[in-house]
Chain A
Protein backbone atom coordinates (compact mmCIF):
# COMPACT_ATOMS: atom_id res chain seq x y z
CA UNK A 1 0.00 0.00 0.00
CA UNK A 2 1.37 3.42 -0.97
CA UNK A 3 1.26 6.47 1.24
CA UNK A 4 -1.19 9.21 0.41
CA UNK A 5 0.56 12.31 -0.91
CA UNK A 6 0.86 14.72 2.00
CA UNK A 7 -0.15 18.34 1.77
CA UNK A 8 2.69 20.49 0.50
CA UNK A 9 1.27 24.02 0.45
CA UNK A 10 3.16 26.44 2.65
CA UNK A 11 1.15 27.65 5.68
CA UNK A 12 -1.40 30.22 4.56
CA UNK A 13 -0.31 29.97 0.93
CA UNK A 14 -1.71 28.24 -2.13
CA UNK A 15 1.75 27.29 -3.31
CA UNK A 16 4.45 24.90 -2.08
CA UNK A 17 8.17 25.50 -1.62
CA UNK A 18 8.71 23.79 -4.99
CA UNK A 19 6.22 26.16 -6.63
CA UNK A 20 8.19 29.06 -5.15
CA UNK A 21 11.45 27.51 -6.30
CA UNK A 22 10.01 27.16 -9.80
CA UNK A 23 9.10 30.84 -9.85
CA UNK A 24 12.64 31.78 -8.79
CA UNK A 25 14.01 29.61 -11.59
CA UNK A 26 11.61 31.38 -13.99
CA UNK A 27 13.05 34.78 -13.05
CA UNK A 28 16.58 33.37 -13.18
CA UNK A 29 15.89 31.98 -16.64
CA UNK A 30 14.72 35.34 -17.94
CA UNK A 31 17.68 37.22 -16.40
CA UNK A 32 20.18 34.74 -17.82
CA UNK A 33 18.43 34.82 -21.20
CA UNK A 34 18.66 38.61 -21.37
CA UNK A 35 22.37 38.48 -20.47
CA UNK A 36 22.97 35.88 -23.21
CA UNK A 37 21.12 37.97 -25.78
CA UNK A 38 22.74 41.28 -24.83
CA UNK A 39 26.31 40.16 -24.06
CA UNK A 40 27.04 36.81 -25.72
CA UNK A 41 30.74 37.67 -26.08
CA UNK A 42 31.19 38.19 -22.35
CA UNK A 43 29.27 34.99 -21.63
CA UNK A 44 31.54 33.04 -24.01
CA UNK A 45 34.66 34.53 -22.42
CA UNK A 46 33.41 33.70 -18.92
CA UNK A 47 32.75 30.12 -20.02
CA UNK A 48 36.16 29.83 -21.71
CA UNK A 49 34.76 29.20 -25.21
CA UNK A 50 35.17 31.15 -28.45
CA UNK A 51 33.14 31.78 -31.60
CA UNK A 52 29.86 30.58 -30.15
CA UNK A 53 28.13 33.95 -29.82
CA UNK A 54 25.26 33.10 -32.23
CA UNK A 55 24.64 29.84 -30.33
CA UNK A 56 24.61 31.71 -27.00
CA UNK A 57 22.10 34.20 -28.41
CA UNK A 58 19.85 31.31 -29.41
CA UNK A 59 20.18 29.87 -25.92
CA UNK A 60 19.25 33.29 -24.56
CA UNK A 61 16.00 33.25 -26.51
CA UNK A 62 15.33 29.73 -25.20
CA UNK A 63 15.94 30.83 -21.60
CA UNK A 64 13.57 33.78 -21.90
CA UNK A 65 10.81 31.67 -23.48
CA UNK A 66 11.18 29.02 -20.79
CA UNK A 67 11.20 31.61 -18.02
CA UNK A 68 8.03 33.26 -19.30
CA UNK A 69 6.38 29.85 -19.60
CA UNK A 70 7.33 28.96 -16.02
CA UNK A 71 5.98 32.22 -14.63
CA UNK A 72 2.70 32.15 -16.55
CA UNK A 73 1.86 28.45 -16.42
CA UNK A 74 -0.36 26.93 -13.72
CA UNK A 75 1.89 23.88 -13.82
CA UNK A 76 5.56 24.79 -14.22
CA UNK A 77 6.79 21.20 -14.03
CA UNK A 78 7.09 20.50 -17.79
CA UNK A 79 8.89 23.78 -18.23
CA UNK A 80 11.35 22.96 -15.45
CA UNK A 81 12.06 19.71 -17.29
CA UNK A 82 12.60 21.86 -20.38
CA UNK A 83 15.20 23.75 -18.37
CA UNK A 84 16.92 20.46 -17.49
CA UNK A 85 17.18 19.62 -21.20
CA UNK A 86 18.52 23.12 -21.82
CA UNK A 87 21.08 22.67 -19.03
CA UNK A 88 22.35 19.52 -20.73
CA UNK A 89 22.65 21.39 -24.02
CA UNK A 90 24.59 24.14 -22.24
CA UNK A 91 26.94 21.60 -20.64
CA UNK A 92 27.54 19.88 -23.97
CA UNK A 93 28.24 23.21 -25.66
CA UNK A 94 30.83 24.25 -23.07
CA UNK A 95 32.41 20.79 -23.02
CA UNK A 96 32.77 20.73 -26.81
CA UNK A 97 33.99 24.31 -27.04
CA UNK A 98 36.71 24.17 -24.38
CA UNK A 99 39.92 25.94 -25.53
CA UNK A 100 43.35 24.49 -24.89
CA UNK A 101 44.96 27.38 -23.02
CA UNK A 102 45.04 27.07 -19.25
CA UNK A 103 43.04 30.23 -18.55
CA UNK A 104 40.18 29.08 -20.79
CA UNK A 105 40.29 25.59 -19.33
CA UNK A 106 39.95 27.02 -15.84
CA UNK A 107 37.01 29.19 -16.85
CA UNK A 108 35.32 26.28 -18.59
CA UNK A 109 35.76 24.12 -15.52
CA UNK A 110 34.08 26.79 -13.39
CA UNK A 111 31.30 27.20 -15.95
CA UNK A 112 30.69 23.44 -16.06
CA UNK A 113 30.58 23.33 -12.27
CA UNK A 114 28.04 26.16 -12.23
CA UNK A 115 25.95 24.48 -14.93
CA UNK A 116 26.03 21.17 -13.07
CA UNK A 117 24.81 22.93 -9.92
CA UNK A 118 21.97 24.62 -11.77
CA UNK A 119 21.05 21.29 -13.37
CA UNK A 120 20.83 19.67 -9.96
CA UNK A 121 18.61 22.50 -8.70
CA UNK A 122 16.36 22.14 -11.75
CA UNK A 123 16.20 18.38 -11.29
CA UNK A 124 15.32 18.76 -7.61
CA UNK A 125 12.58 21.25 -8.46
CA UNK A 126 11.07 19.16 -11.27
CA UNK A 127 11.16 16.00 -9.19
CA UNK A 128 9.66 17.84 -6.21
CA UNK A 129 6.81 19.24 -8.30
CA UNK A 130 6.13 15.82 -9.75
CA UNK A 131 6.04 14.11 -6.36
CA UNK A 132 3.45 16.59 -5.05
CA UNK A 133 0.74 15.33 -7.38
CA UNK A 134 -1.57 12.53 -6.37
CA UNK A 135 -1.77 9.68 -8.85
CA UNK A 136 -2.91 6.10 -9.10
CA UNK A 137 0.31 5.10 -7.38
CA UNK A 138 -0.04 7.44 -4.45
CA UNK A 139 -3.70 8.13 -3.79
CA UNK A 140 -4.98 5.26 -1.76
CA UNK A 141 -7.53 6.54 0.74
CA UNK A 142 -10.45 4.18 0.92
CA UNK A 143 -13.88 5.73 0.43
CA UNK A 144 -15.60 2.47 -0.42
CA UNK A 145 -18.18 2.87 2.35
CA UNK A 146 -19.41 6.26 1.19
CA UNK A 147 -22.47 5.46 -0.85
CA UNK A 148 -24.29 8.67 0.05
CA UNK A 149 -27.49 6.63 0.36
CA UNK A 150 -28.56 6.40 4.03
CA UNK A 151 -30.98 3.57 3.23
CA UNK A 152 -28.38 1.64 1.27
CA UNK A 153 -27.64 1.38 -2.42
CA UNK A 154 -30.05 -1.38 -3.35
CA UNK A 155 -32.98 0.22 -1.52
CA UNK A 156 -32.33 3.53 -3.26
CA UNK A 157 -31.63 2.44 -6.83
CA UNK A 158 -34.35 3.88 -9.04
CA UNK A 159 -36.01 5.73 -6.14
CA UNK A 160 -36.45 8.81 -8.34
CA UNK A 161 -37.61 6.89 -11.41
CA UNK A 162 -40.95 8.68 -11.24
CA UNK A 163 -39.27 12.08 -11.57
CA UNK A 164 -40.83 13.91 -14.50
CA UNK A 165 -38.13 15.17 -16.82
CA UNK A 166 -38.99 18.69 -18.01
CA UNK A 167 -40.17 18.84 -21.61
CA UNK A 168 -37.18 20.92 -22.70
CA UNK A 169 -34.77 18.22 -21.49
CA UNK A 170 -36.62 15.09 -22.52
CA UNK A 171 -35.74 12.75 -25.34
CA UNK A 172 -37.78 13.41 -28.50
CA UNK A 173 -40.50 10.79 -28.91
CA UNK A 174 -38.91 9.35 -32.05
CA UNK A 175 -35.63 8.72 -30.23
CA UNK A 176 -37.14 6.88 -27.26
CA UNK A 177 -36.16 3.21 -26.86
CA UNK A 178 -38.38 0.75 -28.70
CA UNK A 179 -39.97 -2.14 -26.83
CA UNK A 180 -39.93 -5.04 -29.32
CA UNK A 181 -42.17 -7.22 -27.20
CA UNK A 182 -44.98 -4.72 -26.98
CA UNK A 183 -44.40 -2.81 -30.21
CA UNK A 184 -44.43 0.53 -28.42
CA UNK A 185 -41.98 3.16 -27.31
CA UNK A 186 -40.94 2.96 -23.67
CA UNK A 187 -41.43 5.87 -21.29
Chain B
Protein backbone atom coordinates (compact mmCIF):
# COMPACT_ATOMS: atom_id res chain seq x y z
CA UNK B 1 0.00 0.00 0.00
CA UNK B 2 0.98 3.65 -0.24
CA UNK B 3 1.80 5.57 2.93
CA UNK B 4 3.52 8.77 3.99
CA UNK B 5 6.83 7.76 5.50
CA UNK B 6 9.26 9.76 7.63
CA UNK B 7 12.85 9.59 6.38
CA UNK B 8 14.51 12.36 8.40
CA UNK B 9 14.26 16.06 9.17
CA UNK B 10 11.80 17.66 6.71
CA UNK B 11 11.92 14.53 4.57
CA UNK B 12 8.52 12.82 4.18
CA UNK B 13 7.88 10.59 1.18
CA UNK B 14 4.96 8.66 -0.23
CA UNK B 15 6.36 5.11 -0.29
CA UNK B 16 5.06 1.64 -0.96
CA UNK B 17 5.04 -0.30 2.31
CA UNK B 18 3.65 -3.74 3.23
CA UNK B 19 -0.11 -3.89 3.84
CA UNK B 20 -1.00 -4.18 7.52
CA UNK B 21 -2.58 -7.37 8.81
CA UNK B 22 -4.27 -8.58 11.98
CA UNK B 23 -1.53 -9.15 14.58
CA UNK B 24 -3.64 -9.46 17.71
CA UNK B 25 -7.16 -10.65 18.38
CA UNK B 26 -8.31 -7.12 19.33
CA UNK B 27 -7.02 -5.60 16.05
CA UNK B 28 -9.01 -4.33 13.11
CA UNK B 29 -7.89 -3.13 9.68
CA UNK B 30 -9.34 0.09 8.31
CA UNK B 31 -9.45 1.10 4.66
CA UNK B 32 -8.68 4.80 4.96
CA UNK B 33 -11.09 7.13 3.20
CA UNK B 34 -9.72 10.41 4.61
CA UNK B 35 -6.82 11.47 6.77
CA UNK B 36 -5.34 14.82 7.73
CA UNK B 37 -2.04 16.44 8.53
CA UNK B 38 -2.05 17.73 12.11
CA UNK B 39 -0.06 20.68 13.40
CA UNK B 40 1.65 18.26 15.77
CA UNK B 41 2.81 16.23 12.75
CA UNK B 42 4.92 19.26 11.90
CA UNK B 43 6.91 18.70 15.10
CA UNK B 44 7.88 15.32 13.62
CA UNK B 45 8.49 16.77 10.15
CA UNK B 46 10.79 19.36 11.73
CA UNK B 47 12.23 16.64 13.98
CA UNK B 48 11.66 18.43 17.26
CA UNK B 49 10.13 15.34 18.85
CA UNK B 50 12.61 12.62 19.72
CA UNK B 51 11.98 8.96 19.00
CA UNK B 52 11.33 8.90 15.23
CA UNK B 53 12.99 6.29 13.04
CA UNK B 54 13.44 6.35 9.28
CA UNK B 55 10.60 4.31 7.79
CA UNK B 56 7.94 5.30 10.33
CA UNK B 57 4.47 5.81 8.83
CA UNK B 58 2.99 9.21 9.72
CA UNK B 59 -0.50 10.30 10.69
CA UNK B 60 -2.97 10.24 13.54
CA UNK B 61 -6.12 11.84 12.12
CA UNK B 62 -7.81 9.07 10.18
CA UNK B 63 -11.19 7.67 9.29
CA UNK B 64 -12.40 4.91 7.03
CA UNK B 65 -14.20 1.64 6.67
CA UNK B 66 -13.53 -1.53 8.63
CA UNK B 67 -12.33 -4.29 6.28
CA UNK B 68 -11.06 -6.90 8.73
CA UNK B 69 -11.74 -7.55 12.40
CA UNK B 70 -9.84 -9.68 14.93
CA UNK B 71 -11.97 -12.17 16.91
CA UNK B 72 -11.87 -10.21 20.17
CA UNK B 73 -12.95 -6.97 18.49
CA UNK B 74 -16.02 -8.47 16.84
CA UNK B 75 -18.21 -7.71 19.83
CA UNK B 76 -18.14 -4.02 18.91
CA UNK B 77 -17.01 -3.82 15.27
CA UNK B 78 -17.92 -5.52 12.03
CA UNK B 79 -16.70 -5.33 8.46
CA UNK B 80 -18.27 -2.37 6.72
CA UNK B 81 -18.57 -0.18 9.81
CA UNK B 82 -17.68 3.45 9.22
CA UNK B 83 -15.28 4.66 11.90
CA UNK B 84 -13.19 7.62 12.93
CA UNK B 85 -10.02 6.53 14.69
CA UNK B 86 -8.98 8.56 17.77
CA UNK B 87 -5.30 9.39 17.84
CA UNK B 88 -4.97 7.81 21.29
CA UNK B 89 -4.95 4.01 21.42
CA UNK B 90 -6.98 2.90 24.43
CA UNK B 91 -7.57 -0.41 26.16
CA UNK B 92 -10.72 0.69 27.98
CA UNK B 93 -9.86 -1.50 30.95
CA UNK B 94 -6.95 0.00 32.89
CA UNK B 95 -7.41 2.33 35.86
CA UNK B 96 -6.80 5.46 33.76
CA UNK B 97 -9.22 4.40 31.01
CA UNK B 98 -11.89 3.65 33.61
CA UNK B 99 -11.44 7.21 34.93
CA UNK B 100 -11.78 8.62 31.39
CA UNK B 101 -8.12 9.61 31.25
CA UNK B 102 -7.71 7.85 27.93
CA UNK B 103 -4.59 9.70 26.78
CA UNK B 104 -2.66 8.17 29.65
CA UNK B 105 -3.92 4.62 29.13
CA UNK B 106 -1.58 2.34 31.04
CA UNK B 107 -1.72 -0.55 28.58
CA UNK B 108 -1.34 0.51 24.98
CA UNK B 109 2.17 1.98 24.84
CA UNK B 110 4.25 -1.00 23.76
CA UNK B 111 7.44 0.98 24.41
CA UNK B 112 6.53 1.67 28.01
CA UNK B 113 10.14 1.46 29.22
CA UNK B 114 11.18 4.20 26.81
CA UNK B 115 8.28 6.44 27.85
CA UNK B 116 8.97 5.77 31.54
CA UNK B 117 12.51 7.03 31.05
CA UNK B 118 11.42 10.11 29.09
CA UNK B 119 8.36 11.17 31.09
CA UNK B 120 8.66 9.36 34.43
CA UNK B 121 5.64 7.22 33.61
CA UNK B 122 4.23 5.95 30.35
CA UNK B 123 1.34 7.55 28.46
CA UNK B 124 -1.00 5.94 25.93
CA UNK B 125 0.13 4.54 22.62
CA UNK B 126 -0.47 6.96 19.76
CA UNK B 127 -0.73 6.40 16.03
CA UNK B 128 2.24 7.58 13.98
CA UNK B 129 3.79 9.62 16.75
CA UNK B 130 7.29 8.44 17.66
CA UNK B 131 8.53 5.32 19.38
CA UNK B 132 8.08 7.03 22.75
CA UNK B 133 4.36 6.43 22.28
CA UNK B 134 4.58 2.91 20.94
CA UNK B 135 5.95 3.34 17.43
CA UNK B 136 2.60 2.40 15.90
CA UNK B 137 2.31 2.98 12.14
CA UNK B 138 0.11 5.98 11.43
CA UNK B 139 -2.96 6.56 9.31
CA UNK B 140 -1.62 8.68 6.45
CA UNK B 141 -1.85 5.54 4.39
CA UNK B 142 -4.28 3.46 2.37
CA UNK B 143 -4.84 1.05 5.26
CA UNK B 144 -4.38 1.27 9.01
CA UNK B 145 -4.06 -1.46 11.62
CA UNK B 146 -5.98 -0.36 14.68
CA UNK B 147 -4.78 -2.10 17.86
CA UNK B 148 -7.34 -2.45 20.68
CA UNK B 149 -9.89 -1.72 17.96
CA UNK B 150 -12.88 -2.79 20.05
CA UNK B 151 -12.34 0.36 22.15
CA UNK B 152 -10.17 2.52 19.86
CA UNK B 153 -12.80 3.77 17.46
CA UNK B 154 -15.70 6.17 17.08
CA UNK B 155 -18.57 4.76 15.05
CA UNK B 156 -20.12 7.33 12.76
CA UNK B 157 -23.27 7.18 10.65
CA UNK B 158 -23.37 6.97 6.86
CA UNK B 159 -24.63 9.82 4.76
CA UNK B 160 -22.45 12.56 6.26
CA UNK B 161 -19.31 13.70 4.44
CA UNK B 162 -15.97 12.59 5.88
CA UNK B 163 -14.99 16.23 6.19
CA UNK B 164 -17.59 16.85 8.92
CA UNK B 165 -16.50 13.81 10.95
CA UNK B 166 -12.77 13.36 10.42
CA UNK B 167 -11.72 15.89 13.04
CA UNK B 168 -13.40 13.91 15.82
CA UNK B 169 -10.12 12.00 15.66
CA UNK B 170 -8.11 14.82 17.20
CA UNK B 171 -8.41 18.56 16.64
CA UNK B 172 -12.10 18.99 17.46
CA UNK B 173 -11.99 17.15 20.82
CA UNK B 174 -8.58 18.73 21.47
CA UNK B 175 -10.02 22.22 21.06
CA UNK B 176 -13.06 21.19 23.07
CA UNK B 177 -11.04 19.75 25.96
CA UNK B 178 -8.83 22.85 25.96
CA UNK B 179 -11.92 24.98 26.50
CA UNK B 180 -13.76 22.59 28.82
CA UNK B 181 -10.81 22.28 31.20
CA UNK B 182 -10.94 26.08 31.58
CA UNK B 183 -14.39 25.63 33.12
CA UNK B 184 -15.61 28.68 31.20
CA UNK B 185 -18.01 30.96 33.08
CA UNK B 186 -20.41 33.41 31.39
CA UNK B 187 -18.29 36.25 32.80
CA UNK B 188 -15.00 34.96 31.44
CA UNK B 189 -12.64 36.34 28.87
CA UNK B 190 -10.82 33.48 27.15
CA UNK B 191 -7.57 34.31 25.36
CA UNK B 192 -6.34 31.78 22.83
CA UNK B 193 -2.79 31.87 21.45
CA UNK B 194 -2.50 30.35 17.97
CA UNK B 195 -5.13 30.29 15.22
CA UNK B 196 -4.04 27.07 13.56
CA UNK B 197 -6.51 24.19 13.32
CA UNK B 198 -6.58 23.44 17.07
CA UNK B 199 -6.81 27.14 17.88
CA UNK B 200 -9.77 27.48 15.50
CA UNK B 201 -11.56 24.55 17.15
CA UNK B 202 -10.79 26.01 20.58
CA UNK B 203 -12.29 29.36 19.59
CA UNK B 204 -15.53 27.65 18.46
CA UNK B 205 -15.61 25.56 21.62
CA UNK B 206 -15.18 28.61 23.85
CA UNK B 207 -17.97 30.38 21.95
CA UNK B 208 -20.25 27.35 22.29
CA UNK B 209 -19.47 27.11 26.00
CA UNK B 210 -20.60 30.69 26.43
CA UNK B 211 -17.51 32.77 27.17
CA UNK B 212 -18.28 36.48 27.47
CA UNK B 213 -15.35 37.35 25.25
CA UNK B 214 -12.99 35.20 23.16
CA UNK B 215 -9.71 36.72 22.03
CA UNK B 216 -7.48 35.04 19.43
CA UNK B 217 -3.80 35.80 18.91
CA UNK B 218 -1.78 35.07 15.75
CA UNK B 219 0.16 36.92 13.06
CA UNK B 220 -1.30 35.59 9.80
CA UNK B 221 -4.23 37.64 8.48
CA UNK B 222 -5.97 34.63 6.92
CA UNK B 223 -5.94 32.71 10.18
CA UNK B 224 -7.08 35.79 12.06
CA UNK B 225 -9.92 36.27 9.56
CA UNK B 226 -11.07 32.68 10.21
CA UNK B 227 -10.81 33.30 13.96
CA UNK B 228 -12.90 36.45 13.65
CA UNK B 229 -15.51 34.56 11.63
CA UNK B 230 -15.78 32.15 14.56
CA UNK B 231 -16.57 34.93 16.99
CA UNK B 232 -13.18 36.00 18.30
CA UNK B 233 -11.68 39.43 18.79
CA UNK B 234 -8.28 39.20 17.11
CA UNK B 235 -4.79 40.40 18.01
CA UNK B 236 -1.98 40.37 15.45
CA UNK B 237 1.09 40.04 17.64
CA UNK B 238 3.33 41.48 14.94
CA UNK B 239 1.33 44.69 14.91
CA UNK B 240 0.42 45.29 18.55
CA UNK B 241 1.45 44.31 22.06
CA UNK B 242 -0.41 41.21 23.19
CA UNK B 243 -0.07 42.09 26.87
CA UNK B 244 -1.26 45.67 26.46
CA UNK B 245 -4.18 44.70 24.24
CA UNK B 246 -5.34 41.87 26.51
CA UNK B 247 -5.23 44.15 29.52
CA UNK B 248 -7.08 46.83 27.58
CA UNK B 249 -9.83 44.36 26.64
CA UNK B 250 -10.23 43.18 30.23
CA UNK B 251 -10.27 46.47 32.10
CA UNK B 252 -6.63 46.03 33.08
CA UNK B 253 -7.26 42.75 34.89
CA UNK B 254 -6.13 40.21 32.29
CA UNK B 255 -8.09 37.28 30.87
CA UNK B 256 -9.43 34.72 33.35
CA UNK B 257 -8.70 31.81 31.03
CA UNK B 258 -5.63 31.50 28.77
CA UNK B 259 -5.16 28.72 26.24
CA UNK B 260 -1.90 27.80 24.48
CA UNK B 261 -2.81 26.30 21.10
CA UNK B 262 0.71 26.84 19.78
CA UNK B 263 3.10 24.51 21.57
CA UNK B 264 6.80 24.07 21.17
CA UNK B 265 7.43 25.93 17.91
CA UNK B 266 6.26 29.43 18.81
CA UNK B 267 7.06 32.05 16.15
CA UNK B 268 7.44 35.27 18.06
CA UNK B 269 10.01 36.74 15.75
CA UNK B 270 10.42 40.12 17.37
CA UNK B 271 10.63 39.29 21.05
CA UNK B 272 13.85 39.06 23.03
CA UNK B 273 12.88 35.80 24.72
CA UNK B 274 12.12 34.12 21.39
CA UNK B 275 15.56 35.05 20.07
CA UNK B 276 17.01 33.62 23.26
CA UNK B 277 15.00 30.42 22.73
CA UNK B 278 16.11 30.08 19.11
CA UNK B 279 19.74 30.53 20.08
CA UNK B 280 19.50 27.96 22.86
CA UNK B 281 17.56 25.58 20.63
CA UNK B 282 20.23 25.88 17.93
CA UNK B 283 22.89 24.97 20.49
CA UNK B 284 20.73 22.06 21.72
CA UNK B 285 20.48 23.60 25.19
CA UNK B 286 16.69 23.78 25.06
CA UNK B 287 14.21 21.64 23.15
CA UNK B 288 11.09 23.82 23.04
CA UNK B 289 10.32 27.51 22.49
CA UNK B 290 7.94 28.48 25.31
CA UNK B 291 7.23 32.13 24.43
CA UNK B 292 3.46 31.61 24.62
CA UNK B 293 3.65 29.96 28.03
CA UNK B 294 5.64 32.88 29.41
CA UNK B 295 3.18 35.40 28.00
CA UNK B 296 0.15 33.50 29.34
CA UNK B 297 1.62 33.16 32.79
CA UNK B 298 2.39 36.87 32.87
CA UNK B 299 -0.92 38.22 31.57
CA UNK B 300 -3.41 35.78 33.12
CA UNK B 301 -5.68 37.20 35.80
CA UNK B 302 -4.87 36.07 39.37
CA UNK B 303 -6.68 32.81 40.23
CA UNK B 304 -7.09 32.15 36.52
CA UNK B 305 -6.61 28.99 34.52
CA UNK B 306 -3.94 28.14 31.96
CA UNK B 307 -4.98 25.41 29.54
CA UNK B 308 -2.27 23.88 27.38
CA UNK B 309 -3.37 21.70 24.47
CA UNK B 310 -0.26 22.77 22.51
CA UNK B 311 2.31 19.99 22.31
CA UNK B 312 5.56 20.28 24.25
CA UNK B 313 8.24 17.66 23.94
CA UNK B 314 11.07 18.18 26.36
CA UNK B 315 12.88 20.83 28.38
CA UNK B 316 11.89 24.49 28.64
CA UNK B 317 13.81 27.43 29.99
CA UNK B 318 13.00 30.67 31.81
CA UNK B 319 9.48 29.74 32.85
CA UNK B 320 8.07 32.42 35.20
CA UNK B 321 6.76 30.03 37.80
CA UNK B 322 6.88 32.88 40.29
CA UNK B 323 3.97 34.49 38.46
CA UNK B 324 2.08 31.20 38.42
CA UNK B 325 2.60 30.59 42.13
CA UNK B 326 2.00 34.09 43.39
CA UNK B 327 -1.11 34.62 41.26
CA UNK B 328 -2.45 31.21 42.20
CA UNK B 329 -2.91 30.06 38.61
CA UNK B 330 -4.20 26.61 37.75
CA UNK B 331 -2.49 24.74 34.91
CA UNK B 332 -4.39 22.04 33.04
CA UNK B 333 -2.76 20.22 30.17
CA UNK B 334 -2.33 16.82 28.54
CA UNK B 335 -2.99 14.96 25.36
CA UNK B 336 -6.68 14.77 24.60
CA UNK B 337 -8.90 12.10 26.14
CA UNK B 338 -10.60 11.84 22.74
CA UNK B 339 -13.27 9.23 23.48
CA UNK B 340 -14.37 11.12 26.58
CA UNK B 341 -15.85 13.83 24.37
CA UNK B 342 -16.73 12.29 21.03
CA UNK B 343 -20.29 11.07 21.75
CA UNK B 344 -21.25 14.60 22.73
CA UNK B 345 -19.34 16.24 19.89
CA UNK B 346 -20.73 13.86 17.28
CA UNK B 347 -24.23 14.84 18.43
CA UNK B 348 -23.35 18.51 18.08
CA UNK B 349 -22.21 17.86 14.49
CA UNK B 350 -25.34 15.82 13.71
CA UNK B 351 -27.51 18.58 15.21
CA UNK B 352 -25.78 21.14 12.97
CA UNK B 353 -24.55 23.09 15.96
CA UNK B 354 -21.08 23.07 14.42
CA UNK B 355 -19.57 21.97 11.12
CA UNK B 356 -15.85 21.28 11.70
CA UNK B 357 -15.13 21.18 7.96
CA UNK B 358 -14.90 24.98 8.00
CA UNK B 359 -11.19 24.65 8.77
CA UNK B 360 -10.24 22.64 5.66
CA UNK B 361 -8.36 24.72 3.12
CA UNK B 362 -6.77 21.98 1.01
CA UNK B 363 -7.99 18.55 -0.09
CA UNK B 364 -5.38 16.49 -1.91
CA UNK B 365 -4.56 12.91 -2.94
CA UNK B 366 -2.45 10.96 -0.46
CA UNK B 367 0.43 11.06 -2.95
CA UNK B 368 0.59 14.86 -2.57
CA UNK B 369 1.13 14.49 1.17
CA UNK B 370 4.87 15.23 1.14
CA UNK B 371 4.32 18.51 -0.74
CA UNK B 372 1.51 19.45 1.61
CA UNK B 373 3.75 19.05 4.68
CA UNK B 374 5.98 21.79 3.31
CA UNK B 375 2.97 23.87 2.20
CA UNK B 376 1.34 23.60 5.64
CA UNK B 377 4.54 24.19 7.63
CA UNK B 378 5.50 27.29 5.65
CA UNK B 379 1.92 28.66 5.53
CA UNK B 380 1.95 28.70 1.75
CA UNK B 381 -1.10 28.96 -0.49
CA UNK B 382 -3.31 30.08 2.41
CA UNK B 383 -2.97 26.65 3.98
CA UNK B 384 -4.58 26.06 7.38
CA UNK B 385 -5.73 22.44 7.23
CA UNK B 386 -4.93 19.66 4.78
CA UNK B 387 -7.12 16.61 4.19
CA UNK B 388 -5.61 13.74 2.19
CA UNK B 389 -7.63 11.15 0.34
CA UNK B 390 -6.17 7.86 -0.87
CA UNK B 391 -7.23 7.17 -4.44
CA UNK B 392 -8.28 10.73 -5.18
CA UNK B 393 -7.38 12.28 -8.54
CA UNK B 394 -6.24 15.89 -8.42
CA UNK B 395 -6.58 18.27 -5.51
CA UNK B 396 -8.27 21.54 -4.68
CA UNK B 397 -8.25 24.25 -2.10
CA UNK B 398 -11.43 25.73 -0.79
- Does any Cβ of B come within 8 Å of A156's Cβ? yes
Interface status of B155 (Cβ within 8 A of chain A):
no
CA–CA, A141 and B238, complex, Å: 18
Q: Name the residue among A13, A14, A165, A176 with the largest chain B CB count within 10 angstroms.
A: A14
What are the residues of chain A within 8 A of B221 when measuring CB–CB? 136, 139-140
B226 touches A165 (CB 8 A): no
Query: Are A8's CB and B380's CB within 8 A?
Result: yes
User: In the complex where A148-B354, A171-B305, A176-B185 touch, is A163 in contact with B229 (Cβ < 8 A)?
Assistant: no
Contacts of B305 in A (CB 8 A): 171
B residues 156-210 near A (Cβ < 8 Å) are 180-181, 183, 185-188, 200, 204-205, 207-210
B interface residues, how many (CB within 8 angstroms): 73
Evaluate contact between A132 and B380: CB separation under 8 angstroms.
Answer: yes
Residue numbers in B under 8 Å from A147 (CB-CB)? 229-231, 358
CB proximity of B191 to chain A, nearest CB, Å: 17
Contacts of A144 in B (CB 8 A): 225-226, 228-229
B379 touches A145 (CB 8 A): no
Which of chain A's residues have a CB closer than 8 A to the CB of B205?
Answer: 160
Question: Could you give 13 example pairs across A and B, Cβ below 8 Å?
Answer: A8-B378, A9-B372, A143-B223, A148-B204, A148-B354, A148-B359, A149-B204, A159-B353, A160-B209, A160-B348, A165-B180, A171-B183, A177-B187
Contacts of B383 in A (CB 8 A): 134
Contact (Cβ within 8 A) A74 B9: yes
A132 to B380, alpha carbons, bound, how many Å? 7
The residues of B that contact A146 with a CB separation of less than 8 Å are: 226, 229-230, 358-359
Closest to A15 in B: B10
Query: Which chain A residues have a beta carbon within 8 Å of chain B's beta carbons?
Result: 4-16, 19, 69, 72-75, 78, 132-136, 139-151, 153, 156-161, 163, 165-166, 168-171, 175-177, 186
Contacts of A186 in B (CB 8 A): 185-187
The interface of chain B, by Cβ under 8 A from chain A, is 9-14, 45-48, 99-100, 180-181, 183, 185-188, 200, 204-205, 207-210, 219-223, 225-226, 228-231, 236, 238-239, 256, 278, 282, 303, 305, 328, 330, 332, 340, 344, 348, 352-356, 358-359, 361, 367, 370-375, 378-384
Contact B48 A74 (CB under 8 A): yes
Are A134 and B9 also in contact (CB < 8 A) when A148-B200, A165-B183 are?
Answer: no
Residues of B near A4 (CB, < 8 A) are 380-382
3 closest cross-chain pairs (CB), A and B: A134-B379, A141-B382, A74-B46
User: A6 to B383, alpha carbons, bound, how many Å?
Assistant: 10
- Residues in A neighbouring B378, C-beta threshold 8 A: 5, 8, 132-134
The reply to whether A160 and B210 contact each other, CB–CB distance below 8 Å, is yes
Q: How far is the CB of A125 from chain B (nearest CB, A)?
A: 15
B209 contacts A143, C-beta separation under 8 Å: no
* Chain A residues closer than 8 Å to B229, beta-carbon distance: 143-148, 153
Residues of B within 8 A of A6 (CB): 380-381
Once the chains are docked, how many angstroms separate the CA of A68 from the CA of B315? 23
- Determine the chain A residues whose CB is within 8 A of the CB of B379 once the complex forms: 5, 133-135, 139
**Which single member of A78, A148, A157 contacts B210 (CB below 8 Å)?**
A157
* Interface pair A153/B220, CB less than 8 Å apart: no
Q: How far is the CA of A171 from the CA of B187 in the complex (A)?
A: 14
When the two chains form their complex, are residues A15 and B374 in contact, meaning their CB atoms are under 8 A apart?
yes
